[in-house]
Amino acid sequence: MQSDQNLFESLKNSYRYGGMTVRLIFINVAIFLLIQIIEVFSRLMLTNDSLFSKLLSAVFTLTTKFSEFIWMPWGIVTSIFSHFSLWHLLLNMLFLYFSGKMFEQLFDSKRLWYTYLFGGISGGVLEIIAHAIFPAFQGSNTVIVGASGSVMAIFMGLAFYRPNLTVSLFGIFPIRLIFLAGFFLISDLISLGTNDGVAHFAHIGGAIFGALSIRNTGRFSFQNWFESLQRKIQTLFPNKKSTQTRSNSRIKTDEEYNMEAKNKQHKIDVILDKISKSGYESLTRQEKDFLFNQSKND
């Protein structure tokens, strides 16, 4: 009994303090387990398998046929959290864990959440468009499921923001992120139109969103858009902490907010450059605390 309580407490603490990456993994795993429970119940009760299959498909997948999509639009969101295969789930969650943790170090938890959500939606939209315009897909009604497009958005955003960041492939081969990103992108491009069961357009749609989302130049900036969306959501659903903060200080203008965010991002870049040159242990205690707090910022 004590062991069960310890396990529950450990999982609860991991969800609360593990950052947005861990929370997204928890959500994906929970939905996977729900799908499996429904399928097991269907088999044990000897019910109509096709009925349960249609129900699961209607709720958790994205249909690429536009005439059906307009009647089940929620699939463009639910599908990016859903997996029907354990192998599919494991691959996506491993990729999400490593790219998501690095992404949170560079940005923050809310930015990771928005990139995951809108990157996945962008991938779904591109799949629907591709199936509507290309003759190779005419007459087919493919269903899309999985977090691949969302994870690709996170990874591409990371790679285009820090292209020279080096990772160890399989723990052995050092490779720059931008080269790894290029490999994934080219692999999807040359596989378009093949019947391999992979939603390549969803990957590409997520990749495009991820690459564009880190741009901070020009009249429109995704970074400013993310932060503006975050402030609007906080305004609609204020919590006690934010209410107390506003009562004690005046509301910042957009210019002040953007300047503060720019200064914070510059400090993060300086610290990351220091890590790349001299290693993590070269950081001062204050720099380590600052970087840790940014990774937990949600």
Q: Is residue 233 part of a domain?
A: no
Mark whether 247 and 187 lie in a shared domain: no
What was the pLDDT predicted at 273? Answer: 73
The residue-averaged pLDDT of 240-246 equals 47
Mark whether 129 and 268 lie in a shared domain: no
Q: Give the confidence band of 95 by pLDDT, cuts at 50, 70, 90.
A: very high
Mark whether 67 and 163 lie in a shared domain: yes
Q: Quick one: how far is CA 145 from the chain centroid? A: 14
Look up the CATH number of the domain holding residue 148.
Answer: 1.20.1540.10
Mark whether 20 and 116 lie in a shared domain: yes
Mark whether 200 and 258 lie in a shared domain: no
What was the pLDDT predicted at 207? Answer: 95
Q: Give the confidence band of 205 by pLDDT, cuts at 50, 70, 90.
A: very high
What was the pLDDT predicted at 237? Answer: 66
- Residue 285, domain extent: 239-295
Mark whether 52 and 172 lie in a shared domain: yes
The residue-averaged pLDDT of 46-50 equals 68
What was the pLDDT predicted at 261? Answer: 62
Q: Which residues pair with 166 in a beta bridge?
A: 176
What are the angstrom distances between the C-alpha of 48 and each of 31, 37, 38, 44, 93? 22, 15, 12, 11, 31
Q: Is residue 230 part of a domain?
A: no
Least confident of 84-88, 107-111, 164-168, 246-250: 246-250
Mark whether 162 and 278 lie in a shared domain: no
Instruction: Collect all residues with Cβ–Cβ distance below 8 Å to 59 and sequence separation of at least 6.
Output: 74, 75, 78
Q: Is residue 156 part of a domain?
A: yes
Average pLDDT, the chain: 80
Mark whether 165 and 273 lie in a shared domain: no
Mark whether 50 and 160 lie in a shared domain: yes
What was the pLDDT predicted at 222? Answer: 64
Query: Token digits for 21?
Result: 């990456």
Q: Give the confidence band of 150 by pLDDT, cuts at 50, 70, 90.
A: very high
The residue-averaged pLDDT of 236-261 equals 52
Q: How many domains does the chain have?
A: 2
Task: Please give the Cα distance from 115 to 110 (Å, whole number).
Answer: 9
What was the pLDDT predicted at 226? Answer: 64
Task: Please give the Cα distance from 284 to 204 (Å, whole number).
Answer: 40
Mark whether 202 and 86 lie in a shared domain: yes
Mark whether 95 and 143 lie in a shared domain: yes
The residue-averaged pLDDT of 216-244 equals 61
Mark whether 193 and 268 lie in a shared domain: no
